[in-house]
Amino acid sequence: MNDWKKVCPLDEIPRLGSRQVNSASGTIAVFRTAEDEVFALRDKCPHKGGALSQGLVAGKVVTCPMHSWKIQFENGEAVAPDKGCAKVYPAKVEGGLVWIAL
Amino acid sequence: MKKQKLVMVGNGMAGCRTLEELLKLAPDLYEITVFGAEPHPNYNRIMLSPVLAGETKFADIVLNDLAWYRDHGIALHAGKQVVKIDRKAQKVVAADGTEASYDRLLLATGSSPFILPVPGKDLPGVIAYRDIADTEAMIEAAKHHSHAVVIGAGLLGLEAANGLKIQGMDVTVVHLADWIMERQLDKTAADLLQKSLENKGLKFLLGKQTAELVAGESGRVAAIRFRDGSGIPADLVVMAVGIRPNTALAESAGIHCERGIVVDDTLQTYDPKIYAVGECVAHRGVAYGLVAPLFEQARVCANHLARMGIGRYTGSVTSTKLKVTGIDVFSAGDFMGGEGCEDIVLADPSAGVYKKLVIKNDTLAGAVLYGDTGDGAWYFQLLKDRQNIADIRDHLMFGGHHVGGVGDVGHSGHNKAAAMPDTAEVCGCNGVCKGDIVKAIKTHGLFTLDDVRKHTKASSSCGSCTGLVEQILASTVGGAYQPADTQDKPVCGCTDHAHGVVRAAIRDKKLLSIPAVMRELGWKTADGCATCRPALNYYLISTWPHEAEDDPQSRFINERAHANIQRDGTFSVVPRMWGGLTTPAELRVIADVAEKYEVPTVKMTGGARIDLLGIRKGDLPRVWEDLGRAGLVSGHAYGKSIRTVKTCVGAEHCRFGTQRSMDMGVKLEKMLFGMWAPHKVKLAVSGCPRNCAEAGIKDVGVIGVDSGYELYIAGNGGIKTEVAMFMCKVKNDSEVLEYSGAFLQLYREEGWYLERTCHYVARVGLDYVKAQVVDNAARRAELYERLLYALQGYEDPWAAAVKQPGEYVALEVA
């Protein structure tokens, strides 16, 4: 069963930005899109482990700051032709707060 | 909304490329139906010669397999030839009665080989060379017959002859003209080529006109007879005397055709519902038979089919490369020269090398290379860009690496792509070998540098191997290679506009935010991407300082966090040391910070300052606060911005010094503090011509002399070393500030994002820069003034971050 955890008020994550979140399951990157949707990925690029939370967000994709792999929020997959996957955690906004499930 | 119906007639490379481009732009706009006369999915026709030569197999040259059609919901009618277009009812009809109606029709019917109208042309054993069926017929014939005659010594004919020879046949090439490949080569190069093909065992009969093909007892062709009465045995005849655009279908529907189906610059035919691309087309009177122009057409056509309406096809310059293993021939443009042209020729017959460059109005008009084609891609780029070559004319013949055109770091003396073994490392950043690149090009059907970058990562990091990757691409795909359009290349996949267009729009329409730019210029993606957003952000803040919005989320992490991200996710901190000068108090604070935050590595940088490496992001604001107490501010070691001003000791102490270089360096660095630029900017000031500050490889290098200062610009010590060029001499410190500042402002206003000063000056020319900065005092004053205005009131970003440390700290969940 998913265990929803409160992260922060939505305002604390910039639009088209992200925050790093330390948790019992390791470091997680929480992203906020232009439309105020939130997504959470393991903060580790499947390529060489770059911190995805430090990447540039566009649409529902983050570009890793290390070697510019593009990782998709909804399934964690790298955009082709790169191949690899970052773990996806369920995330939601409720009552102005960001929640993730570990 | 109900989907529109798009029908494509012809399932070849041009048509399928158009569909691919269209699906990228508007995946859901059309319900697509494709008719192809051949019973195959789309394959890479230019690789037929390697199939014939036994170097690759058909399965390896399929570009779009059946799954591709299925995945994109495309109905494929393979093996069904369309015989009728009913324009009134907007439908097409195939030979077997299959019908499909359309809202838009795309004709990509290709071309047919021209068959000589001689007696015996229909005999068994007489074929053309056009598709996989012909290729298989030749391979089959080689098993049972021995005498092959290829009529036509063009590109295709010679590749066919070479393949048949490898398949074990005795091959004679018959040609009407006096030398082979006369449409691509001059006589000297053609003679060299003929000789090396003769060494491979091919025979040639030149100046021969075919009169008749004679049948033998079995009814199969047995001999060929010429107009002069002579003849030779032939049990396989391959006609390769040219192609004709397939216009019959279009003509029968009353669509205007000349040499091919006539289209305008948007690839639209005279019927606005009908578009045409590829070899079947006549554009401005030219029908192209090489694949590169067809891809350019495909891109433009797809854009118009997707109703974006951007882009025109204005014709192509083409190049040719023969795909015969072991023989290097390259030609492009107007290689014969003539009125108003001059030739530069290098001939070394015993080494088998011949090069001819045709110059017209200070530009390269054409080139023929034989034996050493390593610089073909570079010449082609010069030709296509119509770059003025007056400055480099004296060493033009010796290739790109002599004039700084091709990055070749780590490949000195070893930059001939064709000669490299497959195991040689090409891309030193990503560890990609030549064999990996060639394999990716062949198996994925890649034709452009961008494709190769995406699939292999070669040339996608520092870019120093770009020239080499282009050479490999050119030598693998031959005439299909089209160099990137460096002048008009779109910023990224989010737009069709080039950097220059975007800059002009921001300036002319006074756009002040990224969303405003995207709206005005019709960006294809809602938020842009990691390539265009940083560029747009820079263009905005550099064009409208103090007015445009600076969007931190559109900056790379280093500029957002004001520190350099390292491979383990920690950051490095480099405080500014003006002109490389420091004090005991500053050093004490740095030492204290290093201990307090357990900084694992403390290092001197190349820019004469101290780097603290391995700092956790959450600690950054506190580190800066401590440093700030001693007056240390951001060194911008992380930004596309002013980095350092390196100085020598100068007249302050040095017995040779003629000028006070430390003092000058500090003044320059203070003036430029906070200057964002298209790329990083480094300066140096030396106190005398011994130049201990290494000013010769800086964006701006200042060298003190007894009577003043010499200013050098556009040097680069990085990826590819570029020696800075002399701009002018000035009298005193304030002139150094004004002239340097004006040059840097010019670069800030006109440079493209990620273009270093050396690339910018190479693009616009040193003479242009001098005209703006040196010769025109009014213009110089304006530029200088705008620079000072932009930098007014700049606040140290570290001090600002100390006040708002929130985002640096990671959140915690239980």
Q: Answer yes or no: is A99 within a domain.
A: no
| pLDDT for residue B403 is more than 80 | no
Domain that holds residue A62: 4-91
Quick one: how far is CA A55 from the chain centroid?
10
Across the interface, whether the CB atoms of B527 and A59 are under 8 A apart is answered yes
Q: For chain B, which domains are there?
A: 4-111+245-305 (3.50.50.60), 126-241 (3.50.50.60), 499-555 (no CATH), 559-629 (3.90.480.10), 642-791 (3.30.413.10)
The minimal CB distance from B553 to the residues A48, A50, A57 is found for A57
Looking at residue B658, what is its pLDDT?
94
Q: Cα separation of B22 and B45, whole Å?
A: 21
**How many contacts (CB atoms, under 8 Å) link A and B?**
88
Identify the band that residue B479 occupies on the pLDDT scale cut at 50, 70 and 90.
low
Residue-wise pLDDT tens digits, B170-193: 999 999 999 999 888 889 899 999
Residue-wise pLDDT tens digits, B108-124: 999 999 999 999 999 99
Residue-wise pLDDT tens digits, A43-100: 999 999 999 999 999 999 999 999 999 999 999 999 988 899 999 999 999 999 999 9
Residue-wise pLDDT tens digits, B483-521: 666 667 889 989 989 999 999 999 999 999 999 999 999
Q: Answer yes or no: is A101 within a domain.
A: no
Residue-wise pLDDT tens digits, B387-402: 888 888 888 888 876 5
Best residue of B430, B527, B812 to probe chain A, by most A CBs closer than 10 Å: B527
Identify the band that residue B45 occupies on the pLDDT scale cut at 50, 70 and 90.
confident
Residue B233, φ and ψ in degrees, nearest 5: -70, 150
Q: Cα separation of B164 and B154, whole Å?
A: 15
Average pLDDT of chain B, as a whole number: 90
Q: Answer yes or no: is A97 within a domain.
A: no
DSSP, residue by residue, B223-247: EEEETTS-EEE-SEEEE-S-EEE--
Residue-wise pLDDT tens digits, B724-781: 999 999 999 999 999 999 999 999 999 999 999 999 998 888 999 999 999 999 999 9
Task: Provide ipTM, 2 decimals.
Answer: 0.95
Q: Which CATH number do you get for residue A20? A: 2.102.10.10
Residue B128, φ and ψ in degrees, nearest 5: -105, 180
* HSE-CB for B449 with a 13 A CA cutoff: 18
Across the interface, whether the CB atoms of B565 and A65 are under 8 A apart is answered yes
| pLDDT for residue B412 is more than 50 | no
Q: Answer yes or no: is A96 within a domain.
A: no
Pairing outcome for strands B236-239 and B147-151: parallel
Q: Answer yes or no: is A81 within a domain.
A: yes
Q: How many CB atoms lie within 10 A of CB B562?
A: 24
The minimal CB distance from A56 to the residues B525, B533, B806 is found for B533
Helix, strand or coil for residue B791? helix
* HSE-CB for B146 with a 13 A CA cutoff: 2
Across the interface, whether the CB atoms of B530 and A48 are under 8 A apart is answered no
Question: Do B491 and B499 contact (CB within 8 A), yes or no?
Answer: yes
Q: For residue A81, which residues of chain B lie inside 8 Å, CB to CB?
A: 454-455
Pairing outcome for strands B99-101 and B147-151: unpaired
The proportion of chain B whose per-residue pLDDT surpasses 90, expressed as a percent, equals 68
Q: Answer yes or no: is A43 within a domain.
A: yes
Nearest CA in chain A to B455: A81
Across the interface, whether the CB atoms of B554 and A24 are under 8 A apart is answered no
Structure tokens at A66: 């290390």
Question: Do B202 and B148 contact (CB within 8 A), yes or no?
Answer: no
Total number of domains in chain A: 1
Question: Do B83 and B93 contact (CB within 8 A), yes or no?
Answer: yes
Identify the helix (H) or strand (E) that includes residue B135: helix B132-144
What are the distances in angstroms from CA B378 to CA B189, B336, B467?
Answer: 19, 19, 8
Q: How many CB atoms lie within 10 A of CB B529?
A: 20
Contacts of A47 (CB under 8 A, 6+ apart): A64, A66, A67, A69, A78, A82, A84
Interface of B with A (CB under 8 A): 454-455, 457, 460-461, 525-530, 533-534, 552-554, 556-558, 561, 565, 567, 569, 617, 806-807, 810-814
Which amino acid belongs to residue B307? R
Q: For residue B534, which residues of chain A lie inside 8 Å, CB to CB?
A: 56
Across the interface, whether the CB atoms of B533 and A7 are under 8 A apart is answered no
Q: Answer yes or no: is A50 within a domain.
A: yes
Looking at residue B406, what is its pLDDT?
39
Across the interface, whether the CB atoms of A81 and B455 are under 8 A apart is answered yes
Which amino acid belongs to residue A54? Q
Average pLDDT of chain A, as a whole number: 93
Looking at residue B411, what is its pLDDT?
43
Helix B434-444 vs helix B466-477: crossing angle, to nearest 10: 50
Contacts of B382 (CB under 8 A, 6+ apart): B363, B364, B389, B405
Nearest CA in chain A to B527: A58
Region of B766 on the Ramachandran plot (φ > 0 left; ψ -120 to 50 alpha; else beta): alpha
Q: Answer yes or no: is A98 within a domain.
A: no
Looking at residue B401, what is its pLDDT?
63
The minimal CB distance from B569 to the residues A22, A24, A51 is found for A51
Best residue of A54, A66, A100 to probe chain B, by most B CBs closer than 10 Å: A54
Per-residue pLDDT, averaged over B542-550, amounts to 95
**Nearest Cα residue to B377 out of B314, B445, B310, B459:** B459
Region of A99 on the Ramachandran plot (φ > 0 left; ψ -120 to 50 alpha; else beta): beta
